[in-house]
Every structure is written in C-alpha cells, then in structure tokens.
Structure 1
Amino acid sequence: MTEQADAAKKALGVRLRNMRQDAGINAKQLAGMLHCHPAKITRIELGQSNASEDDIRAWAIACGVARLIPELIATRREIALMWEEHRQAMRAGQRYVQARGNALYERTKLLKVYESGVVPGILQTRGYVYGVMEANARLYNLPTDDLAEATEARLSRQHLVINGPNTYAFVLEAGALNASMGDVEAMHEQFDFLIRVTRLPNVALGVIPPAKRRILYPGECFYIFDDNLVRDDLWTGRIRTTRPDEIAVYLKAFEMLHSMAIYGDPARALIEEARSRLPQFGAIS
C-alpha cells in the first residue's frame, strides 16, 4: 500500500477509536455489540485491517453517532479507491480485471492519457494486447488460460474511440512506440491503427520527440477520467484519487506534457520511424 493510503487508513482507525472512547465503550464491549472478536476492533483502530461499510455503520450506531455514517463511509470508500494491488486484483483473472473497467470507459466523456512505456490500453490492437497480457502473466505469476478472453475484454472498449461520442487526448513518449509487445505482423497492425487514430476528429494523439527540450521529465503513465478521477499505474499496483488538489497536479502535468508533443503529420512521421525499426526486433522466447 502507498504511504498516503496507509496513513489515511490509520487516520480513520484513530477516528473510530476516538468515537468509541468518547462513547465510554471499551474494545471488548464494542466487539460484543458488533458480534466480532475484540482483536478485530484493535486491528481496525490501528489501521491494520479495513473496516467494512457494515462495520462502520454498526460502529457509529453503537457509539451513538449514526449521523456520521455517510461521512465515515465516504472516507472509507476514498481509502479503498487510493490503492489497488495488481497481484490481489488479478486473482480473479485478467479477463475479469479488463471487463470490469469497461463501465468507467463507457461513461467517461473526456479521457486524457499519458503513456511513457507502451501504447495506451484502449488503443492497443489484438496482437499487442495479447503480448501485454502475456507479460502480465509472467510478472505476476498468473495462469495463461484466459489470455484470449482478457484480450477480447480489453478490445471491447476500443469502439468508444472509433465510433463513440467521447473525446480523447493522448500524449505518448516516443519510446512508447518502441515497445514491441508482439511479432512484426502485430506491430504493423498496431502502427496502422495509431496512424488511423491520429486522423479521428474526436482524438488528439501527440508524441513527444526523443530530442525535445523538456519542461517536465518523463514519469509513470496516468489516466484522467473527466477531470475528476485519476488512475496512476505502478509495477505493484495502481493509485486512484478523486481529490481535487491531487487531480490539479495531474492536470497541470498533462498540459505540460501536451505542450511538448507533436501532432498530425509530424506525429505520424515518428510512428513510421518506429515502424522502420521493426526488423531489428525479434520474437520473445
């Protein structure tokens, strides 16, 4: 868990402990009222365990502060949103992880994406997606029997870019075009699609040239959904936030990165330049 999410969980635990103490109830008494072991109360108060929404409702009622339930549950949901560990999320399989994200993409009217290492997921073509899913399986020791289904689940949202009413802004580092996640045929298909996307009226796809004088250094990829939710992916998990102050930083970073990117014919030239290097790449054994 990130330090921010860990600190937020501990802060909620302290608040729940204070509520209990203000009500004059000890941990054993509260455990009896919540029908759980006293150790659970201690773990929650120390921030070592997550309180469920039912726990919070029962806790607030037992302490005589039922009016705080909506606020406490909102805090708990914000903490749950902050951090998701990839290994834990993928226990249900990559197909499930991909499919559950479709609803968010469908309701997002404006998606802003910065990618420094690979082609953005919603723009990945079949062979490229399959290569990404294979890499995930290797990294997180996942089964490979659902790779085809996971690939289809990711591809099922691509129509939103091609035919949907939504608007998209993509900024890629030039290096992202060099990540060969499939064989040569798959990469040709990927580059063909990127060229097509650069001409769509609802899409702005920019590439930051490799020798560009930078006003902001490269960083991890992030996705901004309608300017009110940010997803920031790391090796071990993903950070999500709805906090306006944090989103403001991502929005500023995106604008800075956007200002360094090139679009239209110059961007297509960089894509074709990456295509020209394809014979240098071999298949992964």
Structure 2
Amino acid sequence: MATSPSSSAQAAREHVAARLREIRLDAGITKRELAARAGWHESKSSRLEAARTAPSDDDIRAWCRVCGAENEAAGLIASSRHADSLYVQWKRLQSTGLKRLQVSSLPLFERTQNFKVYCSNVIPGFLQTPGYATALLRNIRAFRELPDDVADAVAARMERSRLVREGARRRLAILLEEPVLRYRIGGAGVMAGQLGGVLSAMDLPSVSLGVIPVDKDRQMWPIESFTIFDDERVDHEPLSASVKIIEPEEVAQYRKAFRCLYEQAVYGAEARALIVKAIDALN
C-alpha cells in the first residue's frame, strides 16, 4: 500500500509496527528467529517493524503466535484495519463506479450537524448544480477509466446535498478561493448556471459562504480542499486517494487553518460582487 499523504494514517501504521516490535522483544527473540518460525524471510520482519510494509491479518496472527502473545492478535488486527481505512485508494472506492462513493458517504453527512468546507479547486458538492456535477464527474470517470454511472452518481449527489442543505439544524460554513469561480468545468453555460446557484445558496439560512480574493495579502496560503465534520473528522481528497483524519491533534490543525482562511475571506455583498464578476467574465 502506498504511503499516505496524511500523517494520521502513517502514525496509525507506526503504532501497530511499534507494538509488534515490543511483543517480539518481550518474547526475547530476534527478527531472524521470528522469521524462521513464521516461515518468511528476515527482511519481512524488518519491514513490518519499520512500518514499511502493512501487515496482513495472517501476518499479525503468525507474529503473535510465534511470540506467545495470541491474546494481542485481535486488537492489533483491528488497529491495522483502522490504519488502512484512513487511506483508501480511489481505485478501491470507485471500482464499481461513482454512485457507490456518493451513497457510501450518506450516513456521515446525515449525522453531521456542522460542516466546515474549504475548496481551492472546484465548487464543493454541497453547492453543485446538476450540470456542473455531471461535467465534473464525467471528467473524473474518464480520467480514472471507471464504469459509466455518471447519471446515477449525479442524482445521488443531488439527493445528498438536498438532505444536508435542507436540514433544520445543520450549518455549512463554506470558503472558496476566488480562482474556483473562474475554473471552467463544463463550459461557459454550465459555469454561468453554477455561479448563479452559488449566489442562490448564499440566501439559505443554513449556509455561510465566503470567498478569498485572489489579490488579498495572505497569512494562510492556499492548501488542499478539505471538509471538517462536527470538528471531529477531516476528509480531503488528493488525486490518488481519499484520506480520513481523526487524530485530534491533526484535526485541530485543520480547524486552525479554517479559522485563518475564514478571516481572509469576504462575505455578503463583497463575495457576491466577486461571483458576479466571474459570471460577467464568461461573456
């Protein structure tokens, strides 16, 4: 498995690796002895202890059996699976198409009351029109060579967004970098409709929307897009993976980043003026 761009995932893997090493040392055997008894090469023991290779469930069971610590196996397997869940390759998530990904996240969206969303690349899913979502997901489908279920995926995304935006107690604080308003996804007509949709969303009582002007002096630089769920979990999506962050200290870093970015944004009439300017530039 590839190394995660998230320190949460790597830290979780290193925790499992460190525990394996402790179990071996407590048993008083060398890595060479462990490898011989487990039936694998000594280098594998070194890779597992250094967190360079993620252990399989069978690897953990064998390690604990050899060290006389079978009672540790179940907990370590659970920890290892959790580490894997923090970094999930897109190929695995999207192997059956894009709809599954939209539907699978619905329970998280339904139970979340407060969303903090920062986007530096595209209009966030919460605000996407069907036309924009269709153009974007078509591009993603083509790039990743996925089954074509774009129409179903768009329908699922629209339903998910409706549930979130119409929730009586939910709050969405959304920050957009100004260039997001200018990136053409789907052509001028689609973008005009999308930007009009962003203007309409600003009237919703559940939505607070800010735009960070491109000509503003920055204290917080543009970073990857991310979403914070109830101040407890962060999701962000680099090109090759979906990363879930739950480590409290790391989540706190994203909350701090959001506060800094929030202070740099403009709201109300100033934000509307930037959106209208982007619409006018389409003509």
TM-score bracket, normalised by the shorter chain, equals 0.7 to 0.9
Does residue 176 of structure 1 match 2:183? no
1:213 to 214, 217, 222: 217
* Residue 228 (1) aligns with residue 232 (2): yes
Find the counterpart in structure 1 of residue 193 from structure 2: 189
* TM-score, with structure 2 as normaliser: 0.83
1:128 has 2:136 as partner: no
Identity across matched positions, percent? 37
Report what 1:95 is aligned to: 99
- Aligned partners of 2:22, 2:15: CA distance in 1, in Å? 11
Secondary structure at 1:92 match in 2:
coil
Query: 2: CA distance between counterparts of 1:250 and 1:130?
Result: 29
**Contact (CA 8 Å) 2:109, 2:164: kept in 1 or not?**
no
User: 149, 152, 163: which one pairs with 1:149?
Assistant: 152
Opposite residue 217 of structure 2, the aligned amino acid is: R
Structure 2: how far apart are the matches of 1:201 and 1:58? 56
Letter in 1 for 2:69: G
Between the aligned partners of 2:150 and 2:126, the Cα distance in structure 1 is 17
The aligned residue for residue 198 of structure 1 is 202
Give structure 1 stretches of 5+ with no counterpart.
32-36, 280-285
Question: Across the two proteins, how many residue pairs are aligned to each other?
Answer: 271
String of CA shifts for 1:136-174, please: whole Å, max 9, x gaps.
12332334x211112112112111343113111000011
Q: How far apart are 1:65 and its partner, in Å? A: 5.8
| Selected match of 2:254 from 225, 238, 250 | 250
Q: CA deviation at 1:243?
A: 0.9
Q: Secondary structure at the match of 2:270?
A: helix
The answer to whether the 8 Å contact 2:110/2:164 transfers is no
Which amino acid in the other structure matches residue 108 of structure 1?
T
Unaligned runs of 5+ in 2: none
CA 55–106 in structure 1, closer or farther in 2 if over 3 Å, else same: farther
CA RMSD of aligned residues (A): 2.8
Q: CA deviation at 1:218?
A: 0.9
Decide which moves more: 252-261 or 18-27: 18-27
**Separation in structure 2 between the aligned mates of residue 39 and residue 202 of structure 1, nearest angstrom:** 58
Among 135, 139, 142, the alignment partner of 2:143 is 139
